[in-house]
């Protein structure tokens, strides 16, 4: 596919979205970000998107803290479609995507996760890795299915766990790996898509 239009879903800081934007600017990823959606009105990712002149909107989850209500998923699918999105990238999005959003973008939703899946799915994977005492962790990009951090793996990068690592230092190095891996896998995967 020539220029791919990406839709980004994020709940937080937006450093992975920034890495995607940097890869686009550097000519390493033939894409544009058509829309950024967040379930948190005050998420920094929305501000970052607005600064870049990208359409940025809030997903209304009707006060649910964890759940991604069906109506909100329908609304999300509608906005992504309206923005001409070819490929959806979850970038620190903390709700589980299910139907109808999965059905609207079959095999077209990617996620980045800070562990070598299937190890340590779920929240604060870096803390889980430290608590398990592993000597190596890493990051994974995978296709999203209805599970939590499951779905076919498209790419991984290994990161050593150091003896004096704290959750913060390990998370920092995992994020640096995410910022390298995610744009690279998006570029590779986007090249396989038919319009
Ligand atoms: C990233 O480390 C990402 O892997 C993690 O949230 C962080 C978001 O950072 N996602 C998950 O744990 C998903 N299960 P960012 O907002 O700076 O990109």
Domain boundaries, the chain: 4-190
Distance of CA 93 from the midpoint of ligand 1 (Å): 7
Please answer whether residues 105 and 80 qualify as being in contact, where contact means their C-beta atoms are separated by less than 8 angstroms. Answer: yes
| In contact, 53 and 34? CB cutoff 8 Å | no
The pLDDT score that the predictor gives to residue 109 is: 98
Ligand 1: nearest atom to the Cα of 113: 4
Q: In 3-state terms, what secondary structure has residue 166?
A: coil
List, chain by chain if needed, residues with CB within 6 Å of any ligand 1 atom.
10, 12-16, 45, 91-92, 112-114, 125, 149, 175, 178
Mean pLDDT score, 96-122 = 96
Strand order in the sheet with 153-160: 56-58, 31-38, 4-9, 87-90, 109-113, 136-143, 153-160
Cα(109)–Cα(49) distance, integer angstroms: 19
The alpha carbon of 71 and the centre of ligand 1 are apart by a number of angstroms equal to 24
For a pLDDT cut of 70, what percent of the chain falls above it?
A: 99
Digit-coded pLDDT (tens) for 4-56: 999 999 999 999 999 999 999 999 999 999 999 999 999 999 999 999 999 99
Ligand 1 centre to CA of 147 (Å) is 17
Count of CB atoms within 10 A of residue 139's CB? 27
pTM of the model: 0.96
Mean pLDDT of the chain: 96
What separation in Å is there between the alpha carbon of 106 and the centre of ligand 1? 22
**How many Cβ atoms sit within 10 Å of the Cβ of residue 46?**
20
Which residue, judged by its Cα, is nearest atom 10 of ligand 1? 92
Q: Can you tell me the mean pLDDT for 181-191? A: 98
Catalytic residues: 113
Q: 3.30.365.10, 3.40.1280.10, 3.40.50.2300, 3.40.50.170: which CATH number matches 4-190?
A: 3.40.50.170
Q: Which long-range contacts (CB under 8 A, 24 or more apart) does 156-165 make?
A: 156/116, 156/117, 156/181, 157/181, 158/116, 160/135, 160/136, 161/129, 161/130, 161/134, 161/135, 161/136, 161/137, 165/130
**Atom of ligand 1 minimally distant from the CA of 18:** 18
What atom of ligand 1 comes closest to residue 17's alpha carbon?
A: 18
pLDDT at 116: 98
Quickly count: other Cβ atoms within 10 Å of residue 31's Cβ. Answer: 23
Residue 118 DSSP code: T
Q: Which residue among 11, 111, 112 is best mutated to probe the pocket of ligand 1, counting the most ligand atoms within 8 A of its Cβ?
A: 112
């Amino acid at each position: 596919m020539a220029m791919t239009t990406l839709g980004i879903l994020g709940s937080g800081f937006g450093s992975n979205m920034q890495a995607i934007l940097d890869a686009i600017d550097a000519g390493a990823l033939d894409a544009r970000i058509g829309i950024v959606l967040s379930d948190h009105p005050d998420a920094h990712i929305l501000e970052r998107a607005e600064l870049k002149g990208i359409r940025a909107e809030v997903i209304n989850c009707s006060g649910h803290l964890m759940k991604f209500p069906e109506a909100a998923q329908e609304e999300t699918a509608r906005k992504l479609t309206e923005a001409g999105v070819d490929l959806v990238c979850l970038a620190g999005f903390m709700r589980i995507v299910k139907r109808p959003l999965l059905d609207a973008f079959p095999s077209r939703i990617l996620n980045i996760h800070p562990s070598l899946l299937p190890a340590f799915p779920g929240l604060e994977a870096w803390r889980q890795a430290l608590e398990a005492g592993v000597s190596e962790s890493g990051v994974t990009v995978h296709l999203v299915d209805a599970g939590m951090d499951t779905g076919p793996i498209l790419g991984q990068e290994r990161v050593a766990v150091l003896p004096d690592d704290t959750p913060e230092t390990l998370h920092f190095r995992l994020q640096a790996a995410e910022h390298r891996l995610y744009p690279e896998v998006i570029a590779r995967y986007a090249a396989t898509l038919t319009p």
